[in-house]
Structure 1
Amino acid sequence: MTDGADMYKPIIVGDNSNFEFVPEYFDENVDVISDEGYSEINGTDEARASMFSDLAKYYCEVTNPENNADNPFFKSKYAPLSEVLNTIRPVMGKYGLSIIQIPKTLEGGVGSVQTVLTHKDGAYISFPPLTGKPAKADIQGLGAVITYLRRFSLNAIAGVTGEVDDDGNTAAGVKKTTAKKATAKTGAKDNPLKTELVSECAKYVNNDATKRKEVTEALKAVTPNGNVNNIKTDADFKKAIDIVKGLS
């Protein structure tokens, strides 16, 4: 056990390049670990030990949220922010843990979210901000990107996954391929208007999650959940195509 100021000195985990390095200050008050990323672990030695003990218990108990929201463009599912929070809150609360997420707007309309993990005994971990620029510079675009950043930060920090693991194909720019439906038995063919709509959506979205959400919201004018697969009539397909083209 240490006494005095040393009990409260934060541990800086990662890059401190955003700060003016004053040896006298850091020598006495901060332990610097590694040189990549930036996180700060704060609290007394006892509080830190208690926090990490409860974190270990939390990780043994928490489960992944249900992927119950549709991504119509990649035909996959994901766990929305509400589902992630509903999954982790009870377990975090049981062990005295909580999450604080601080949104802000940076220069150029860039959204930023910083997440802090706190513990009932006074220790906390402050994680690096995650930033992203909305597809459109309006309040709806900013709100969408803030929600997106909150969800991705929360999944990582809470130790859960709310996304389908595609083995890095999306990040690498590899387009998802799907098997063509067998038509020999039914003789059915895809509606060319649907094919055109999917093509227009893909051109606009271009693997941008914020734009995917934007298109989904726009298509709710045609189908309740914004899912292309739920559009039935040629008239609605034509209306949807005009909507997506208007977004560009």
Structure 2
Amino acid sequence: MENDEAKALYKALSLFRKNIKQPVKDGENPYFESSYVTLEGVIKTVDEAMNGTGLSFVQEVATINGLPSVRTTLTHEDGGTMTTEWLSLLPGGKATPQDIGSLITYAKRYQLAVWVYQATLTMTATKLAKTIIRCRIAVNSK
């Protein structure tokens, strides 16, 4: 990334941080008797905060080493970009299409929420995110 592109990107990120609001918990989980922010809620909050900043994002989905994976790229209209690492999650059970779809939605929601520094994670999700990070570090260091 060129120096001018980086400056424009960081200036836009600063404006974005001023604009961002805490997302509304718009989903209910009857199993855990809790509420949470849906993927749509996270995207809505991020989109609203990006208005007028020149920022946008895209989330790619792929199969990496046989696992459903997501990565997020933030772009600025002047050319600067930032991209996350691939986030891969292990499916449980039989790995039905429903299971894979749920994993992809979950990965998109948490990757985007964590990346924009929002306090949308429950304690359980925070522990999961830390476990995923530890696993990635362990796998990458071998």
Category of TM-score, reference length = shorter chain = 0.7 to 0.9
**Structure 1 pair 171/50, CA: closer, same or farther in 2 (3 Å)?**
closer
From 13, 16, 26, the counterpart of 1:55:
13
**In the alignment, which residue of structure 2 is the partner of 1:105?**
63
AA in 1 matched with 2:9: M
Q: Is the 8 A contact 1:64 1:160 kept in 2?
A: yes
**Displacement of 1:167 after TM fit?**
9.8
* Residue 109 (structure 2) aligned to one of 133, 139, 151: 151
Q: How far apart in 1 are the matches of 2:51 and 2:127?
A: 36
CA contact (8 A) 1:54 1:95 kept: yes
Deviation at 1:169, TM superposition (A): 6.7
Q: Which residue of 1 aligns with 2:49?
A: 91
Identity, % of aligned positions: 29
Q: Give the CA deviation at 1:139.
A: 1.6
Instruction: Mark the runs of 5 or more structure 2 residues left unpaired by the alignment.
Output: 131-142
Deviation at 1:165, TM superposition (A): 4.1
| TM-align CA RMSD | 2.2
Structure with greater contact order relative to length (CA < 8 Å, sep ≥ 6): 2
- 1:94 is paired with a residue whose SS is coil
CA gap of 1:167–1:119, structure 2 versus 1, over 3 A, is closer
* 1:116–1:171 CA distance, 2 compared to 1 (3 A): closer
Paired residues, what number? 129
Runs of 4+ more than 6 Å apart: 169-172
Match of residue 86 from structure 2: 129
SS at match of 2:102: helix
Letter in 2 for 1:125: M
- TM value normalised by structure 2: 0.81
**1:171 Cα offset (Å):** 7.6
* TM-score, scaled relative to structure 1: 0.48
User: What is the identity, as a one-letter code, of the residue corresponding to 2:22?
Assistant: N
- Larger Cα Rg: Structure 1 or Structure 2? 1
Q: Which has the higher strand share?
A: 2
Query: Which ranges of structure 1 fall in alignment gaps of 5 or more residues?
Result: 1-42, 173-248
Secondary structure of 1:89's counterpart equals helix
Cα distance in structure 2, aligned partners of 1:169 and 1:112: 20
Q: Deviations over 1:8-49 (max 9, x none)?
A: xxxxxxxxxxxxxxxxxxxxxxxxxxxxxxxxxxx2101101
- Which stretch of structure 1 is more off in the superposition, 50-59 or 68-77? 68-77
- Counterpart amino acid of 2:10? F
Return the alpha-carbon distance in structure 2 between the equivalents of residues 155 and 45 of structure 1.
27
